[in-house]
Amino acid sequence: TKVKPNAAAVAPVETPKKRPQIVARQEQPKSNVEKDLNRLLNPTFTAPTHEQLKQKKFQPVDQFHFPFGKPRPAGEMSGYLQAIDEYAKRNRKQEFFMKDMGPLVKDMKLPYYWKDPLFRACGGKPSGKISIFQLGSTWKKICETRFDSESQLMALLTYGTTRNYLVPSDLTPLITDVIETHPGLEFLRSAPEFHTRYVTTVIARLFYIASAWNKKLAVPGLRKSEFAQVINSLDSLDDINNEQRFFSYEHFYVIYCRFWELDSDHDLRIGPTDLSKYGDYSISVKAIDRILSGTVTTKRRVMEYSEFVWFIMSEEDKSTATSSEYWFRVMDRDGDGAITIDDLEFFYAEQETRLRTLGVEPLPFLDLLCLMLDLVKPDQKHIITLRDLKKCRLQHIFFDTFLNAEKYLDREQREPFDGNQEWNWARWATEEYSLLVADEDD
């Protein structure tokens, strides 16, 4: 008897599934990112072909930077040459002496005190002469590449050199000519022993205002100083003291008298002992030592007259850019571009002693530090940079607090609303001149 298998025990046989047919994927062409982006931004954009780009003529970008001024009208040069020619015919001259240059530059509509630099640029000597051809060709050569007052004056003063900057000696003939011909300096002409000091003072003030620490003054620095504008208007001033940036005789008198008082042996150099007497010994010994250590002077342990001009202008007006740079160099002991808390504590230690000597109880250093950080608001918490001080506009308070006990006390004793006021240089010099004149009258 055959046994029938149990249907439940027999596993069903699955029909094998067909493997899916693998179809090769067609590779899509790579997209051009630049074209796709342009289509998104501008659906109507059609990228130019290489041949189209080769044939396209691109328009040059208009010049926007003019280091020597914007070019002048083409007919301006002919006007200069015509003025020279008319002067020569009117005076029946083909050669010009220095005495002719004043009327000549006026006919050419140039600043009056360009007469000496122009004469020298043409090869003229003090007692010599130049030809009409030399004058015309020299001025034409300058005007071909120099278009504004600053760059033209620079070209005149450095003519015959390869330099594109002024050094102090370049300005000596021009300022000497101002002494010899300006009506406001007639009394100075009778005292030739002071001419060199006056010239040095004017030049030092120019380089100071331009912050020319390396004693090289390029066109941007000349623009910053506004020296060319002052020269251009100088002949219209009868009173030289009305020009208070460079040429004021009263300012020169104050500076030179203060230097003479300190220079005990009158060798035109002052050392630490002499300099410490300034302001009735109000400047800290540590500051004096730093000043004469080479940080702001060219020689160690001695200060020459031109450097004293920088010192006195920095001391009596601490609100200017150059003054901030001057005193920052003094306080930045390691020259790393930052005044640290250690630097502040170093200078304040002497101030504390001075204040106690004067019968004033000084603030504890940490309290003062908080006040100064609130005053300056430095970008970084524990260091003060030159940028921080210039930005806060109260740098005169900061520097006096650490370097000049007398001025610090004077400010502390003022009315609260007067505490942030600072005398500028011109105001201080005018006041000092009045005091000096009053002392002489007595």
Read off the pLDDT band of 76 (50, 70, 90). confident
Fold held by 269-441: Recoverin; domain 1 (1.10.238)
Torsions phi, psi for 224 (to 5 deg): -60, -40
Class of domain 161-247 (CATH, top level)? mainly alpha
Token pair in block for residue 426: 């011109």
Could you read off the pLDDT of 130-187 as tens digits, one per residue?
Answer: 999 999 999 999 998 888 999 999 999 999 888 999 999 999 999 999 999 999 999 9
Q: Which helix (H) or strand (E) holds 432?
A: helix 425-441
Among residues 334, 340, 336, 368, the alpha carbon closest in space to that of 352 is found at 368
Domains 72-144 and 161-247 agree in fold: yes
Domain ranges of the chain: 72-144, 161-247, 269-441
Could you read off the pLDDT of 229-264 as tens digits, one per residue?
Answer: 999 999 999 999 999 999 999 999 999 999 999 999
CA 1 – CA 24 distance, rounded (Å) = 59
> What's the CATH number for 72-144?
1.10.238.230
Dihedral sign of CA atoms 253, 254, 255, 261 in order: positive
Total number of residues shown for the chain: 442
Query: CB-based contacts of 143: which residues, under 8 Å, 6+ apart?
Result: 72, 76, 77, 80, 152
> Does the pLDDT at position 326 exceed 90?
yes
> Does the pLDDT at position 406 exceed 70?
yes
Query: Between vectors from CA 322 to CA 337 and to CA 318, what angle results, nearest 5°?
Result: 100
Token pair in block for residue 198: 């006056």
Is beta strand 165-166 parallel, antiparallel or unpaired with respect to 217-218? antiparallel
> Does the pLDDT at position 266 exceed 60?
yes
Is beta strand 303-304 parallel, antiparallel or unpaired with respect to 339-340? unpaired
CA 216 – CA 212 distance, rounded (Å) = 6
Is beta strand 339-340 parallel, antiparallel or unpaired with respect to 383-384? antiparallel
Residue 5 confidence (pLDDT): 47
26-31: average pLDDT: 54
